[in-house]
């Protein structure tokens, strides 16, 4: 997704309009009849279809007010149970046939993103695509929430293109400069300052527990376990997307988080020594390892969703000092070069 947006604005003077869609109570509003109708025509064994039907139908719920006080049982005619592994899969089956003719669309559970590349001086037609999605939603008995739907405009020209507002249910949706998409804060300038700041804020809230554990004289190995399971995953999340695009000052901001954590666990010990004592690597090195691991899986698996984004293998017979594995094109901006696939191909 970000690869496509960076590529579309790589010195082309084009703008990208991104629509981030949100459904009202997505999991709670799924119509069982519509879902069963779609499952019926999928290549799913009959027994599994019957099991899904039995799982969803004749469900009842009630509210516990106190130890001995309950509400009346109420029938649950819509929705899929949240907190189950089956719930997101059933929602994916529900939106599997959602398509638009002219715009790429990305679907992940109830997060749906559509975008349109608008060349300089051309008119935008994404309103028609949004109307198609709205029509599909109405026919499938799910409702878009225009208040939570947002729009990003990625445009790097000095004179920005002006667009008409996008309407959902006859209401214009808000234009924002950054929005969280699948846990990553994406900005309209494709920089990662907002995401890093949000990550640091989230991590700082968990340092309270690490400090309390240290004061309780919890062993150092257990403190390291707490850090690697409750704090570091926040810093690692989605690292492959933004690692190569991080300027030095943002890398240092993230590294300071790990320095602080290790200074709590190992007071009066240098950062390098604490890394050795804890058998950890720097965050920069860890992000690089995660990128290398993902890139290896992309190269090895021809069915991987990112495999078709790989550049052509370099077949030149020149006797050069440095012979690259992939034949890279001339990138017009570092913004596109620093995305995951081009940078991984460059350093492969």
**Measured distance CA(115)–CA(39) in Å, rounded:** 28
Query: Confidence band (pLDDT; 50, 70, 90) for 317?
Result: low
Residue 323: what pLDDT?
67
| % of the chain residues with pLDDT over 90 | 47
Average pLDDT over residues 325-332: 83
Per-residue pLDDT for 76 more than 70?
A: yes
For residue 218, the SS3 value is coil
Average pLDDT over residues 141-153: 90
Provide mean pLDDT across the span 186-191.
92
Predicted local distance difference test score (pLDDT) of residue 121: 84
What pLDDT band is residue 321 in, cutting at 50, 70 and 90? low
* DSSP E strand boundaries for the chain: 15-21, 60-61, 64-66, 69-70, 74-75, 105-108, 111-118, 150-154, 167-168, 171-172, 174-175, 178-181, 184-187
Res 137 pLDDT > 70: yes
pLDDT at 348 over 80: no
When pLDDT is averaged across residues 116-142 and rounded to a whole number, the result is: 89
Q: What's the token pair of residue 84? A: 């189950």
Confidence of residue 91 (pLDDT cuts 50, 70, 90): confident
Q: 232 pairs with which residues across the strands?
A: none
């Amino acid at each position: 997704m970000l690869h496509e947006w960076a590529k579309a604005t790589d010195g082309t003077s084009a703008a990208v309009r991104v629509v981030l869609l949100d459904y009202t109570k997505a999991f709670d509003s799924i119509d069982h009849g519509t879902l069963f109708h779609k499952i019926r025509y999928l290549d799913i064994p009959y027994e599994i279809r019957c099991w899904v039907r039995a799982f969803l139908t004749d469900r009842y719920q009630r509210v516990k007010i106190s130890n001995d006080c309950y509400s009346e049982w109420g029938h649950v005619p819509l929705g899929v149970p949240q907190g189950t592994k089956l719930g997101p899969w059933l929602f994916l089956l529900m939106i599997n046939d959602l398509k638009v003719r002219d715009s790429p669309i990305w679907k992940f559970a109830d997060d749906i993103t559509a975008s349109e590349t608008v060349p300089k001086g051309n008119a935008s037609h994404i309103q028609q695509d949004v109307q198609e999605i709205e029509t599909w939603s109405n026919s499938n008995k799910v409702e878009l929430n225009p208040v939570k739907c947002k729009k990003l405009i990625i445009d790097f020209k000095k004179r920005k293109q002006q667009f008409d507002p996008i309407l959902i249910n006859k209401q214009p949706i808000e234009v924002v400069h950054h929005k969280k998409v699948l846990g990553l804060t994406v900005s309209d300038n494709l920089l990662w300052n907002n995401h890093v700041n949000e990550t640091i804020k989230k991590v700082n809230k968990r340092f309270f527990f690490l400090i309390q554990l240290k004061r309780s004289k919890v062993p150092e190995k257990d403190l390291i376990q707490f850090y690697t399971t409750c704090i570091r995953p926040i810093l690692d999340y989605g690292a492959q997307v933004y690692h190569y695009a991080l300027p030095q000052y943002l890398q240092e901001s993230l590294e300071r988080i790990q320095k602080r954590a290790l200074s709590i666990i190992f007071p009066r010990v240098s950062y390098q020594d604490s890394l050795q004592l804890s058998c950890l690597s720097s965050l920069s090195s860890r992000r690089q390892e995660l990128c290398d691991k993902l890139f290896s899986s992309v190269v090895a698996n021809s069915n991987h969703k990112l495999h078709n984004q790989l550049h052509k293998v370099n077949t030149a017979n020149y006797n050069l000092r440095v012979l690259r594995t992939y034949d890279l094109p001339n990138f017009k901006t570092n913004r596109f070069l620093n995305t995951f696939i081009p940078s991984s191909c460059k350093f492969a």
